[in-house]
Amino acid sequence: MARTVNAQARQEKRDLIIQTAVTVFPEHGFSGTTFALLAKKIGISPATILLYFESKEELFRCTVIEPLERFREPFLAFSTYEGTPLEKILAMIDWHVQMVASTSSYLRLVQYVLGQHQRFPQEAEALYHFAEESMNRLTSVIEDGQAAGQLQKLDAREVAWGYICFIQGVGLVNTDEATSPIWDSMRRVGIHMFAPVPVTNP
């Protein structure tokens, strides 16, 4: 039992370091972020961080990639939703807006990495791969919607890419609480990006 408790406590401490780093790295930059700064915000000693990460480079890599892995399944779940293609898209937008409304710090970190992709090639590659996978899955759903007559026939891949850029941008520029009505507005804007075919009454 003691080993289980210790392992859990260790994992919780590691998670706390990463959660703090998610906010500190984009604010202070890679060079300006030190173990001393992180430790002060957490309330631990800098030496404690070295028990979990061998270097700042390793911590930065984990800070970018590990949350991305946790986001992957829920972000991409839309492709397995039940219902018509349009219903899948509506449910996807609702879930994505909820996600970005609560992950603005991580989105700023993503932008920091992509803005310096040559400096952080491994981290940038992971982000590009995630975006490509998202776009491919969404393109397939859009094409199904177009074939079913639910969506207007635009370039499905362009629509998918535009939406991915939109949802990330929404999370970056909106600083409102997740309960703010602004997020409902963003849901409505997101829906229009897919050009649903208007429903006409007979």
List, for residues 82-106, the tens digit of each pLDDT value: 999 999 999 999 999 999 888 888 9
Measuring CA to CA, which residue among 69, 95, 68 is closest to residue 80? 95
pLDDT in tens, 101-132: 888 889 999 999 999 999 999 999 999 999 99
| The dihedral sign for the CA sequence 8, 11, 17, 18 | negative
CATH number for the domain including 24?
A: 1.10.10.60
Shared domain for 153 and 84, answered yes or no, is yes
Is there a single domain that holds both residue 12 and residue 76?
no
Q: Which domain holds residue 169?
A: 64-202
Residues 11 and 71 grouped into a single domain? no
CA contacts within 13 A on the Cβ side of 128: 11
Q: Give the confidence band of 174 by pLDDT, cuts at 50, 70, 90.
A: confident
Q: What are phi and psi of 117, to 5 degrees?
A: -60, -25
